[in-house]
Amino acid sequence: MNLSVIPDLTMQGDDSPYSAGPTVTIGRLAGLVRELAARPGDWWDLARFDGVPVRLPGEQAIWLSAWPPGHRAAPAADVLAVLAGELSERTITDQGVAERALRANRIRVYGGGHPRELVNPGPAYALSLHATVR
């Protein structure tokens, strides 16, 4: 009898040695964004106040965006954290258009693939982190 195909019970809880690498779930990504948001010393000097997002160094696709007043964009992000200021989110669904205010110190996790647009409605810049599961 060949027992080599039976999983080793001592490996329970370990990553599979046969997988390509650790899988990043949307929950893990949201946790990483929350941790980054709490450490402005890691990203503050990278902020560009010209409306161009900056990719943060690291393995994950995480972007830092500075939003001038009135700036609109439709980022394809799975997780969003507003770091400073406020953004307004418009989502288009089968039921119509929904709008909500996104304020600092909140993590927003997206799903469903509905088109959305973000705009800075305020008189000052807003900062946000955007992350995408790869």
Give the number of residues written for the chain.
134
Q: What's the average model confidence in pLDDT over 12-19?
A: 56
From residue 76, give the alpha-carbon distance in Å to each of 34, 39, 130.
18, 24, 8
The tens digit of pLDDT for each residue in 52-74 reads: 899 998 878 899 999 999 999 98
pLDDT bracket for residue 110 (50, 70, 90) = confident
User: What was the pLDDT predicted at 26?
Assistant: 87
Place of tokens 């949201």: 30
Decide if pLDDT at 132 tops 70.
yes
Q: What's the average model confidence in pLDDT over 20-27?
A: 73
Q: Across-strand partners of 8?
A: none
